[in-house]
Structure 1
Amino acid sequence: MLENPSFLRDRPNMGDPLSDMLSLVEARSVLAGRLYASGSWAVRFPPPEKIKFSALLCGTCYLSTQDLSVPVRLEAGDVIVVTGQHSFILASDPTLDPVDARVLFREVPDNVARIGNGEDVFLFGGHVAINAARAGLIIDVLPPLIHIRSAAPEAGALHWLLKQLVAELSSNRAGSDLAASHLAQLMFVQVLRAHLAETTQTSDAGWFRALADDRIAPAIRLMHREPSRAWTLGELAQASAMSRTTFAARFKEVAGIAPVAYLLVWRMRLAERALLNSDAPISSVALSVGYKSESAFSNAFKRVVGVSPKRYRSARMPISKE
């Protein structure tokens, strides 16, 4: 088996596909603002250019979007993640005319907006910053709306995180901003875990659904743990306790592509990152993803990415200033 170079050996969470994907797209949760409201209120948020999340820490309200036939009631402890192309409204009453969130939050101190004189409702929101070049890897596999209810079986960890987040947001302790950011990051991961638990009930093929499928997940973990290994269909099928024919059919049904094609695409994603984030020779990058021949790697890379490794690296290198 080929030995991985340092830029892949030091990669954290090897064999954990969800962590691998989040690391590959450089997902990072960013807290954006807080809203305290009482009485009658409604706020329209613009279409999310990124993955946007909101958590209702106290009170109740309604969520409306063009993707929903009827408004959804949110209760304290609920978390939503919005990835659609439409704006959405949070309101005490879905029939009210909303104010524009961009106007509401314009120049408010510490990004804390208030409607009314009380604090019956407390919402906080943010977005997930993602490497634009790889954003499709995660945005394309998530639905326009993820709603994790406070009573969901997977919501226990979210309750604890929200409680800690409230404590950090309301304190002036040293390091509270950094602690809140890390808690928001953990919250996003937990939302994805909760969504994974429900994904087996959907019919949309893709890598995210594949992670939730207990039958093929062992094979995916193997491919992520050792991407440079020349995995055979028989080895992957054996890891999943299925015959090769059954495994291949199940993998294609759930993931949307064949096992060998999945491994090829994953290798090329790792190669893309290595080409951009290191100055390793292309031959070393080729070895790290299982190719002894630089020309074979270049052909595979061009077939998946559309350009040669050399051109991919040079086209994305920052222009130096003399």
Structure 2
Amino acid sequence: MAAPRSLPASGTTLGGDLVAETLELATSRCALPRCLTAAGAWALAFPAPGRLTVQAVLRGTVWLTVDGGQPVRLDAGEAAVLAGDRPYTLASGPEVPTADAPPPVDATAGPFLHAGAEGRDAVTLDGRLELDPAAEELLTGALPPVLRLGATTAEAPAVRWLLAQALGELSTDRPGASFALGHLAPLLLVQVLRALLAHGGTDEHPAGLLRALADERLAPALRLMHADPARPWTLAELARAATMSRTSFAQRFKDLAGVPPLAYLRRLRMRLAQHTLRRTDTPLSTVAASLGYGSDSAFSTAFKRATGLSPRHYREAARSAPDLPAQG
């Protein structure tokens, strides 16, 4: 385990970039990147991936249909982000009869898949991101079933490049491939978040942490909480930072974040605590003080209420299972 150290320096990341700070508390990895080539008339039906999925079209035109939605045309240079909770179809046209797609990584084809006739009229790349709950919370309520990224958007070229790099690392088995994949996944997640902030953070989407982070009126109050999570912030102080009345601030915060401001502060403290307990040997008393708890017992009670485990048991479980998810 790492030597004892303090909690992550909240509020210092990229000049107070709250999305970047949230990503520091989350982990992600790119699972099963794959290349699809196709020609002629073809259509493949995929089961719900259960993970955030990113598609990029390198050549030709592909029609993407998520269960319950309308077909979305993706031309070369375009990409799409799928929430991953519904089955979907990739096809040469919206009316082509579908066949079930093979498993993501076939024993013979590896990360490469072909559909239809001989040739490469269409070439797509996809990648699935496994996220821990800290990152999933960031996306909750913000991601529509399909978010289309046109070829001229700032994120589409980066998505294509990152997926191509991930596929290359997986298919060539070069030294350090697993390390490279581990670093490409967070970069891909950053592009997804940027796309959501630029194209998906609107009133038509339900409340969620991402919408709150993207809101300029709430940003000053959020920066205060992230910069000093140990301070016993009051609703009046936070509202004053946002230059709003307490009533208006509390209502706007709940409408966008899905929880009241002080409930958000409690969740932030728990995420910071879990991050530290999973990754360091910092004494529990230090963790408690860093988060504003007057005693170890008060911290332990709050932590167990949020996670179902005492801080000590959570740390022990994290040591035996490094991928133990965050909760709260």
Farther-moved stretch of structure 1 (270-279 vs 102-111): 102-111
Which residue matches 1:117?
A: 118
Which residue of the other structure, out of 261, 282, 294, is the alignment partner of 1:292? 294
- Shift of the alpha carbon at 1:292? 3.0
Give per-residue Cα distances to partners, 1:206-237, cap 9 Å, x unaligned: 21111121111222122223222332323322
- Shift of the alpha carbon at 1:186? 2.8
Which residue of the other structure, out of 261, 268, 271, is the alignment partner of 2:270? 268
Which residue matches 2:259?
A: 257
For the residues of structure 2 that align with 1:179 and 1:272, how far apart are their CA atoms? 26
Which residue matches 2:59?
A: 58
Which residue matches 1:309?
A: 311
- Shift of the alpha carbon at 1:17? 2.5
- Shift of the alpha carbon at 1:108? 4.0
Q: Specify the SS of the correspondent of 1:292.
A: coil
Give per-residue Cα distances to partners, 1:228-257, cap 9 Å, x unaligned: 233232332232222333212221221121
- Shift of the alpha carbon at 1:270? 1.3
Aligned length: 311
Aligned AA (2:308): G
- Shift of the alpha carbon at 1:82? 2.1
**Aligned 8 A contact 1:150 1:159 in 2:** no
* Cα distance change on mapping 1:28 and 1:21 into 2, 3 Å: farther
Q: Specify the SS of the correspondent of 1:201.
A: coil
- Shift of the alpha carbon at 1:43? 1.4
Which residue matches 1:40?
A: 41
* Cα distance change on mapping 1:163 and 1:278 into 2, 3 Å: closer
Aligned AA (1:120): D
Give per-residue Cα distances to partners, 1:108-155, cap 9 Å, x unaligned: 445122233222211001111223x65652453343523233156xx2
Q: Show the 5 A alignment for 1:22-37.
A: 22-30=23-31, 32-37=33-38
**Aligned 8 A contact 1:28 1:185 in 2:** yes
Which residue matches 2:326?
A: none
**Aligned 8 A contact 1:24 1:273 in 2:** yes
**Aligned 8 A contact 1:67 1:144 in 2:** no
Aligned AA (1:148): R
**Aligned 8 A contact 1:30 1:181 in 2:** no
Q: Show the 5 A alignment for 1:1-322.
A: 6-9=5-8, 13=13, 15-30=16-31, 32-68=33-69, 70-103=70-103, 105-115=105-115, 116-131=117-132, 134=134, 136-138=136-138, 140-143=140-143, 145-150=145-150, 155-160=153-158, 162=160, 166=164, 182=183, 185-197=186-198, 198-318=200-320
TM (norm. structure 1) is 0.82
Q: Percent identity?
A: 40
Give per-residue Cα distances to partners, 1:243-291, cap 9 Å, x unaligned: 3332122212211211111001110111122222222221111112122
**Aligned 8 A contact 1:36 1:114 in 2:** yes
**Aligned 8 A contact 2:143 2:205 in 1:** no
Q: Specify the SS of the correspondent of 1:102.
A: coil
Aligned AA (1:47): A
For the residues of structure 1 that align with 2:103 and 2:163, how far apart are their CA atoms? 26
* Cα distance change on mapping 1:262 and 1:63 into 2, 3 Å: same
| CA RMSD between the two structures | 3.2
**Aligned 8 A contact 1:210 1:254 in 2:** yes
**Aligned 8 A contact 1:65 1:86 in 2:** yes
For the residues of structure 1 that align with 2:163 and 2:135, how far apart are their CA atoms? 27
Aligned AA (1:212): A
Q: Specify the SS of the correspondent of 2:37.
A: strand
For the residues of structure 2 that align with 1:36 and 1:305, how far apart are their CA atoms? 45
Q: Specify the SS of the correspondent of 1:245.
A: helix
* Cα distance change on mapping 1:189 and 1:146 into 2, 3 Å: farther
- Shift of the alpha carbon at 1:293? 1.5
For the residues of structure 1 that align with 2:305 and 2:29, how far apart are their CA atoms? 30
